A and B are shown apart, each in its own frame.
Chain A
Amino acid sequence: MMVLQGKNLKQILTAITPILLFLLAWEALSYVHVLDPALFSRPSKILSTIYTMAFVDMVKIDIDLPLVTIITGDSLYVGTLILDIISSINRLVVSFVLASIVGILIGLIMGTNPFIFRFLNVILTTFLPIPGIAWAPIFLVWLGFGDSTLIAVGFIAALFPIIQNVSISTTSVDKKMVWASKSMGANDLSLFLHVLLPNSFPFLFTGFKLGLARAWRTIIAVELISSASAGLGVMIFTAREFLQPYKIYGGIFVLAILYFMIELLLRLLEKQTIEKWGMTDMGVFYE
């Protein structure tokens, strides 16, 4: 976000120059063996590895991934890296959608009744600080290695911030607005659609943003230990076992770029909705 904020060329240049210099220095130091090239692979090698993984080493998609089969049909050959990215993103999307549905439901239920709110809020504050990856060994035993574990852990990681923000959004509405719209003859449905829902939007957005970030981090982390068939974390950890640091660097680079893009997308969405409506970023950033 900070890199691409600059609109004019000069700002972009000042952003890119340090990165290029950093990479050049790395390349040079590694070339003259000041940095051991077996541990600190040269950037040129990293880039060529990324290219090879993405476009040269082809692999057939034959894994049962719900989203992929819908998009690509049955047999399609893609680069191994592309497959890793697709499977990671697929897990992220599935777990995030599940967590949003369940989170919104539980959050709304919490909002209906102060007693339920207090009851569940205690449980929520206990579970919130547990890092997603701490659940991983338990789910590995419950569900085995593979997609279901990853999706479950991503789900757990994303669920709690979403519940928290949804439940807070239900209690945050200004009573005067509700009274005003009621006195002007709004029924329950239009009250919900035109007052309560827009009012809770910033909270929802914060919850979703946090949930998405947490799910992404957790899924990548759990992929490291759960030897699934494909995924960026799997790729990174396998590369470690074969002592291929250039693949790890490539994976880290791809991870950075991917999350950068997700964040850019969210930023755009935020500008189109919340900022356009004059609501600033609200909600709870517990992290």
Chain B
Amino acid sequence: MSKPSQKGENKWQKYSIVIPFLIGAILWEILAFFTILDPILFPPPSQLFFTFFNLLLNRRPSLIDHIIRSLYHIFMGYSLGVIIGISIGILMGLNRFIYNTLNPILALLIPVPTLAWVPLLLIILGLGDITIITAIFLGCFFPIVYNTLNGIRGTDKQLIWAARTMGSNRIDILLEVLFPSALLSILTGLRLSIGYAWRALVGAEMLAGITMGIGHMIYAARWGFNLDVMFTGLIIISLGGLIMDRVLIIPLEKATVLRWGLLEEKGGKQ
């Protein structure tokens, strides 16, 4: 008896996610239809629907080109950030001297908004992909470094001693003890920084993009007064942020920390 009711509840839950959007969209549509909201300034959902397909099929570069270029940017910047960030974090966690040298410099640079670097990068590197990739790298570098560092430093000392007494060398300790124990915190960093990277992507593409990229598409739509294109881009950005989290981070989490039973939340915020 309890099963069907639960199923009904689940169904209701599923619908309840869609309902707010439906109500909002219908309201918007009606207001725009009676031109209470100016349909040029507030393009109604039906128009966004057409714009979406128009961008997909009729424009050159098409929406797919924009998305692919943005994904390329984010892939390059994020993987650079992950590789360099985790390495530096581990080095800082292992060696006191490196920590003392780098920590003040990094702490000085953390509070700078990522996009404030872009004008400088524009002078040094010029317009284009490399500036955008560097900006994304700068956006996700710091949270990864500090979360990795926290994870390495938070490792239970007794585990290290135990491994040492049982005769493991430094590389074994790093790979078998420190890294797995820090992984939860590292994953927190990865998750935070994918959000940061996404944000940096949009801003950097606006400032430094040339022909392609979602951010550039939104920004360029300003010249043609195409608010429908901007809103379509905004929806894609919002979905992209959610999908990134679902596709990249959650499977990674399931494959590692959840499987090992390290369930409890921990990790930094910055």
Contact = CB atoms under 8 A, between A and B. Distances in A.
Interface in A209-224: 216-217, 220-221, 224
Contacts of A220: 113, 115-116
Interface SS of B by simple majority: helix
Contacts of A259: 111-113
A21 B198 CA distance: 34
Given A123-B20, A245-B123, A137 B222 contact: yes
Interface string A45-59: 000000000000000
B227 A129 contact: no
Interface stretch (A11-19, A75-83, A97-105, A180-188): A11-19
Nearest to A237: B119
A71 interface: no
B195 A129 contact: yes
Interface string A28-42: 000000000001100
A2 interface: yes
B192 A217 contact: no
Given A122-B17, A129-B238, A137-B230, A16 B104 contact: yes
Contacts of A1: 107
Interface in B192-237: 192, 195-196, 198-199, 202-203, 206-207, 215, 218-219, 221-222, 225, 227, 230-231, 233-234, 237
Interface stretch (A162-170, A195-203, A250-258): A250-258
Contacts of B116: 220-221, 224, 232-233, 236, 251-252, 255
A224 B124 CA distance: 17
A225 B219 contact: yes
A118 B21 CA distance: 12
Interface in A117-153: 118-120, 122-123, 126-127, 129-138, 140-142
A133 B103 CA distance: 29
B203 A240 contact: no
Interface in B240-270: 241-242, 245, 269
B112 A255 contact: yes
A256 B110 CA distance: 8
Nearest to A260: B111
A126 B112 contact: no
* Interface residues on chain A, size class: 35 or more
A248 interface: yes
B117 interface: yes
B202 to A, nearest CB: 5
Interface of B: 16-17, 19-21, 24, 41, 100-105, 107-109, 111-120, 122-124, 192, 195-196, 198-199, 202-203, 206-207, 215, 218-219, 221-222, 225, 227, 230-231, 233-234, 237-238, 241-242, 245, 269
In the A-B complex, the 10 residue pairs with the smallest Cβ-Cβ separation, listed nearest first, are A129-B241, A259-B111, A131-B199, A240-B119, A221-B115, A217-B113, A2-B107, A133-B203, A137-B222, A15-B104
25 contacts: A14-B100, A18-B100, A18-B102, A18-B104, A18-B105, A122-B16, A122-B19, A126-B238, A127-B238, A131-B202, A133-B206, A134-B234, A137-B219, A137-B230, A138-B227, A140-B222, A221-B203, A225-B219, A237-B119, A252-B112, A252-B116, A252-B120, A255-B113, A259-B112, A287-B196
